[in-house]
Amino acid sequence: MLGFLINPNKFNKLTDIILKPLFYLTAVIFLIGLILIYYSPNDYQQGSTVRIMYIHVPSAWLALLTYSIMTIYSIFALAFRIPFGFIINSAVAPIGAVFTLVCLVSGSLWGKPMWGTWWVWDARLTSVAILFIVYLIIIFINYSFEKIEVKEKIIAIFVVIGSINLPIIKFSVDWWNTLHQPASISKLSSPSIDPSMLKPLIAMTLAFTFIGLIIAILRIKTEIILRKKSI
Amino acid sequence: MSLRFQRLFLILVTFVLLLAAVLLILFNSQKNIIFFYTPSELINEKPKVGQNIRIGGFVKEDSLKKITINSYEFEITDNNNAIFVYYNGILPDLFREGQGAVVDGIIEKPYTIKATNIYAKHDENYMPASIKEDLEKNNQWKKNYK
């Protein structure tokens, strides 16, 4: 049933079926998200600048989600010798890097009008910048070795070590004084975002996730073909 | 235990130990990682005059005074202690009384800071502007969102 998660052939079969419907679904959700943003209200303090949130938060979420998935796959790939995990690492690292960059740039553009600065070295901003560098190193390792078996193991080990950064990013705003705000949405309390702003945020998060998923599927398929050729 | 679960166990133990090491380092260098001191922390630290410092808190109500066109005086408070700040320059848009702010500056004399940079801090609450207007109309607007 869940064989497509570790078996390249089953993965190819399933994604051949769902790729097209997924594409249309994503287009619809993205359009709904954009319409909701257009009709979303201005914030009581930030005015219309608050709309940067609808790009900033989804890309931050995807930057962390991509790395979490890579971590899980790396652990299982190393422990249980599942080569599909290595394929995932090579395929999705650039996607995570791009979303991290989008997060950093949109955050910087948001910080200038609201905080009064493009960048400060507070714990949250610094840890996300480190995440971006970690992604870059993974991409560089990916292009730096001739032997695939050596390369993929080094990447997987590096991904697992780099995942120490994930809880630090998540809890940096709670553990230390930061200029960045604490989380607006958490499991323990009701969200401190008004429903009229939460709806477009959720729609955009879904849309971004699906866009990331489509690119990931295409890149994983490419990676499978490349590896079959090289063997 | 089969070989693969031994490997999984080894990876997880390594991960936990590394995480513990990193967190221990980070929590022990707390002073260098925090972005700002609160006024109470600053008073406890007993900093020297002339030292560079960054403090954060709320701009105290009724403390913001405009001296000239671009010089200001105000107090930063954490509801226990307050630090007096004066500043030459342009304030960020979000800067106002009751709002969070972070001040970069030099300690001129105890409890007084000459600011070189001011950042406004915004909290985790997002609310449509129209709702605030409605609340104000009905006198329901209280600043209890901090």
Task: Give the DSSP per-residue string, B71-100.
Answer: EEEEEEE-SS-EEEEEEESPPPTT--TTSE
Within an 8 Å CB–CB cutoff, is residue B140 touching chain A? no
pLDDT for the residue A194: 86
CA distance B119 to A44: 19
Q: Is the pLDDT of residue A17 over 90?
A: yes
On chain A, the residues whose CB falls within 8 A of the CB of B124 are: 181-184, 192
Q: Is the pLDDT of residue B145 over 50?
A: no
pLDDT for the residue A187: 64
On chain B, the residues whose CB falls within 8 A of the CB of A197 are: 126-128
Partner residue facing A120 (CB), from B34, B35, B38: B35
Q: Is the pLDDT of residue A51 over 70?
A: yes
Instruction: Give the containing element (helix H, strand E) for B101.
Output: strand B100-109
Show which of residues 79-118 on chain A sit within 8 Å of chain B, judged by CB atoms: 79-81, 113-117
User: CB–CB of B26/A168 below 8 Å?
Assistant: yes
Residue of B nearest to A184 (CA): B124
Calculate the average pLDDT of chain B.
85
For chain B, the domains span: 1-31, 34-121
> Is CATH 2.40.50.140 correct for B34-121?
yes
Do the chains contact at A197 and B125, CB–CB below 8 Å? no
Within an 8 Å CB–CB cutoff, is residue B122 touching chain A? yes
pLDDT for the residue A188: 66
Phi, psi of B96 (to 5 degrees): -160, 170
Q: CA of A226 to nearest chain B CA: how many angstroms apart?
A: 28
The residue written with tokens 């022990």 in the block is B28
Probe site for chain A from B15, B99, B126, B146 (most A CB atoms < 10 A): B126
Average pLDDT, stretch A62-75?
Answer: 96
Q: What angle do CA B11, B12, B18 make, to 5 degrees?
A: 90
Average pLDDT, stretch B25-38?
Answer: 85
Average pLDDT, stretch B1-16?
Answer: 87
Q: Is the pLDDT of residue A189 over 60?
A: yes
Q: Is the pLDDT of residue B111 over 60?
A: yes
Kindly report, residue by residue over B42-81, the tens digit of the pLDDT.
Answer: 888 877 888 888 889 899 888 888 888 888 999 998 888 8
Closest CA to B105 of B74, B81, B61: B74
CA distance A23 to A21: 5
Q: Is the pLDDT of residue B139 over 90?
A: no
Average pLDDT, stretch A46-62?
Answer: 93
Q: Is the pLDDT of residue A62 over 90?
A: yes
User: CB–CB of A70/A96 below 8 Å?
Assistant: yes
Query: Could you tell me how many CB contacts below 8 A there are between chain A and chain B?
Result: 129
Supply the DSSP string of chain A, one letter for each residue: --GGGT-HHHHHHHHHHHHHHHHHHHHHHHHHHHHHHHTPPPBTTTBGGGGGHHHHHHHHHHHHHHHHHHHHHHHHHHHH--HHHHHHHHHHHHHHHHHHHHHHHHHHHHHHHHTS-S----HHHHHHHHHHHHHHHHHHHHTT-S-HHHHHHHHHHHHHHHTTHHHHHHHHHHHS--SSPPPSS-SSS--SB-HHHHHHHHHHHHHHHHHHHHHHHHHHHHHHHHHHHH-
pLDDT for the residue A185: 82
Position B1 confidence tier, pLDDT thresholds 50, 70, 90: low
Calculate the average pLDDT of chain A.
92
Position B146 confidence tier, pLDDT thresholds 50, 70, 90: very low
Of residues A112 and A2, more confidence is placed in A112
- The count of C-alpha atoms lying within 13 angstroms of the C-alpha of B94, restricted to the half-sphere facing its C-beta, is 26
pLDDT for the residue A13: 92
CA distance A190 to A228: 49
Within an 8 Å CB–CB cutoff, is residue A194 touching chain B? yes
Partner residue facing A50 (CB), from B34, B93, B126: B126
Partner residue facing B123 (CB), from A163, A176, A181: A181
pLDDT for the residue A231: 67
Supply the DSSP string of B38-68, one letter for each residue: -HHHHHHH-PPTT-EEEEEEEEPTT--EEEE
Residue B124 is given by DSSP the state S
User: CB–CB of A70/A93 below 8 Å?
Assistant: yes
Show which of residues 83-102 on chain B sit within 8 Å of chain A, judged by CB atoms: 91-95, 99, 102
pLDDT for the residue B64: 86
Within an 8 Å CB–CB cutoff, is residue B129 touching chain A? yes
Of residues B128 and A93, more confidence is placed in A93
Probe site for chain A from B7, B31, B35 (most A CB atoms < 10 A): B35
Q: Is the pLDDT of residue A12 over 70?
A: yes
Q: CA of B70 to nearest chain A CA: how many angstroms apart?
A: 15
Average pLDDT, stretch A121-129?
Answer: 93
On chain B, the residues whose CB falls within 8 A of the CB of A114 are: 92-94, 120, 122
Do the chains contact at A181 and B122, CB–CB below 8 Å? yes
Which has the minimum average pLDDT: A80-84, A127-131, A165-169? A80-84
CA distance B20 to B76: 36
Residue B35 is given by DSSP the state S
Do the chains contact at A184 and B36, CB–CB below 8 Å? no
Q: Which of A64-68, A150-154, A183-187 has the highest mean pLDDT?
A: A64-68
Tell me how far apart the 2 most distant CA atoms of chain A are, in Å: 59
User: CB–CB of B74/B121 below 8 Å?
Assistant: no
User: CB–CB of A143/A137 below 8 Å?
Assistant: no
Kindly report, residue by residue over A137-170, the tens digit of the pLDDT.
Answer: 999 999 998 888 899 999 999 999 999 999 999 9
pLDDT for the residue B143: 54
Within an 8 Å CB–CB cutoff, is residue A68 touching chain B? no
Please enumerate in sequence order all residues whose Cβ is within 8 A of that of B2, keeping only pairs 6 or more positions apart, or say none. Answer: none
- In chain B, pLDDT over 70 holds for what percent of residues? 95
Within an 8 Å CB–CB cutoff, is residue B146 touching chain A? no
Which one-letter amino acid corresponds to residue B126?
A: Y
ipTM score above 0.85: no
Kindly report, residue by residue over B72-102, the tens digit of the pLDDT.
Answer: 999 998 888 888 998 988 888 888 888 889 9
pLDDT for the residue B52: 87
Which has the minimum average pLDDT: A61-75, A124-138, B64-78, B130-144? B130-144
On chain B, the residues whose CB falls within 8 A of the CB of A44 are: 127-129, 131-132
